[in-house]
Chains A and B, each alone.
Chain A
Amino acid sequence: MPEQTSALWPLGLYCLAVVAITTVILGISHVLGERHSEKGTAIPYESGMTPTGSAQLRFSADFYLVAMFFVIFDLESIFVFAWAVAARDVGWSGYTELFVFVGILLAALAYLWRSGALTWGTGGQAHAPRPGKEIEP
């Protein structure tokens, strides 16, 4: 495939250039740059406020849950957009299909709501009456 190879050489040159320039910049600053090691050198803001605490916090799982719901429902909305541009062409059968699709989404939302997934934090859930507690053994 000679024509493909000839089309690819600028890309190869570009890659080489990237590596070369990075090496030169880092190398020159390594050789010429000044070095000092004092009390405040290693902290993020050398002349600013002193950081407190660790950066490795434990986030509440609720954040992940909300992010996940967002991604799921956001992705579903893409299907609605895809239907919208072709709405007239696909006609009533397309409308019915979308109706079923959104209906299933609503069912999922109802399930999430009733099972307490939309309640923020553990405190709220502890006080809120949990739906349908299991009675049978």
Chain B
Amino acid sequence: MRPDDLAALSPLLILAGAAVAVLLAAAVFRSHRLAVALTLAGLAAAFASLSIAWPHAPRPVTTLLAIDHFALFYMGLILAAAFTVVLFSHDYLATTCLPTEGVGQTSGPRREEYYVLMLLAVVGSAVLVASVHFASFFLGLELLSVSLYALVAYRREGRLGIEAGVKYLILGGAASAFLLFGMALVYAALGSLDFSGLARGFARGDGEGLLPLAGIGLMVVGIGFKLSLVPFHGWAPDVYQGAPAPVTAFVATVSKGAVFALLLRFFSMLQPPRHGALATVVALVAVASMFAGNWLALLQTNVKRLLAYSSIAHMGYLLVALLASGPWAPTAVTGYLTAYIVTILGAFGVVSVLSTRSRDADGVEDYRGLAWRRPWLAGVFTAMLLSLAGIPLTVGFIGKFYVLAAGVNSDLWLLVVMLAVNSAIGLFYYLRLIAVLYRPPSEAAAGAVASLSLPLGSAALLTLTLALIILGVYPAPLITAIQACLP
């Protein structure tokens, strides 16, 4: 380890240090505010240290990690998203996770561990976006997943939370096994674990044959699970519904974003043939994800489940951009992911802010007449839903525009038409939810959602909405930044 390596790794080191610091702070003095402050400080310091790492990029640090501008951009995105999630989490846990009396020591508030787990999950995501080796890929993924298993089941008093945690654990473990076996088969065929070695192997033609094809097929299963692509999406609605709202936001944004960044790096290094078996499978999965996600979202009456299916469809859109080749594709994927992260964070942020102690605000009835009771919040939610639908003047439109442009540029006409059809289907259920917001409130719902002052969450929502509109109206800085960071 040379000093330059340490400087390049500084965001990861600071994050890991922050996780240990929060753990020790919880051991010495249990305080929710202290834990939140330390976590936010750690995330901010890691974000600031990106500027220390920037001059050293691109730089391979050991064979496992490559700190390049791509990795640093995604780390910045992940850190910003995690910062927002922690802001929501503070308000959410302060509202829902109150000290309970009696029944042994396990029923204490225990809010500090949440932040330790969240920081560890962020470390895992940051490792993922910088990894150029199967070993670091798997380690990052496991660090992320294992932290998420515990976070998903963090509210232990309800049945749904435990159910979601167990489902995510068992299915996630199975998916990891698939991924690992796939890696083993690819290694057996190509004799290399790092991506550049694999790329050389594929260029030589070692990627032909049954063995590497089976390995890549198994890896598609593992990655498809993490991204909740059809037909590996079964867990998504239940986990989204059962997990605490900020954790759901984290799963939908940071976890998926990091895995997708890795997929983008993998694809751009390996350059798989456009008409090979892998491209065909990815195209099929993309179409299936778009249709299944949007159609099943039409049937939902639970807002969290609706957003889960919507995120399945969005992952399908992203795969279209991934399949597109040429200079547009990485820009399109990164731009769309940024838009998606901003929007989904905002949407789950609203759910989180509205949640009460007894349950998350996930029924459609909870939102009925929100515009009359809490007009600002309803406005924010409307903006987020419009952005998810891809309406102009929101960042969602810019993302979708770039994906379509990338698809058209690469002559993926069938996929582009599917995407357009699905955007129309999607518009319907987003608008239906918006319509619910502006209906007159029912008497029962009026008192159901207590209005508390949640300063951090409200500030985060305001920032997200501003980002959504500013980037939607004037996306040039974002696009320039993305293009500067991509290889």
* Interface of A toward B, CB cutoff 8 Å: 93, 97, 104, 107-108, 110-111, 113-116, 122, 125-126, 130-137
Contacts and interface: CB of A to CB of B under 8 A. Distances in A.
A137 B357 CA distance: 13
Contacts of A133: 30
Contacts of A113: 27
Closest 10 pairs between A and B when the two form their complex, measured CB to CB = A132-B30, A114-B27, A111-B27, A132-B29, A134-B109, A111-B23, A125-B105, A107-B20, A110-B27, A134-B99
17 contacts: A104-B20, A107-B20, A107-B24, A107-B27, A110-B27, A111-B26, A113-B27, A115-B26, A116-B105, A125-B105, A126-B105, A132-B30, A133-B30, A134-B30, A134-B108, A136-B31, A136-B33
A134 B32 contact: yes
- Chief secondary structure at chain A's binding surface: helix
Interface string B79-98: 00000000000000000001
Given A136-B31, A136-B33, A130 B108 contact: yes
Given A122-B104, A125-B105, A131 B27 contact: yes
B450 to A, nearest CB: 15
Contacts of A137: 98
B23 A136 contact: no
B444 interface: no
A136 B35 CA distance: 13
B210 interface: no
A81 B96 CA distance: 45
Interface in B6-46: 20, 23-24, 26-33
Nearest to B13: A100
A116 B27 CA distance: 10
Contacts of B27: 107, 110-111, 113-115, 131
Nearest to A125: B105
B105 A134 contact: no
Nearest to B1: A93
Contact of A134 (B20, B23, B24, B31): B31
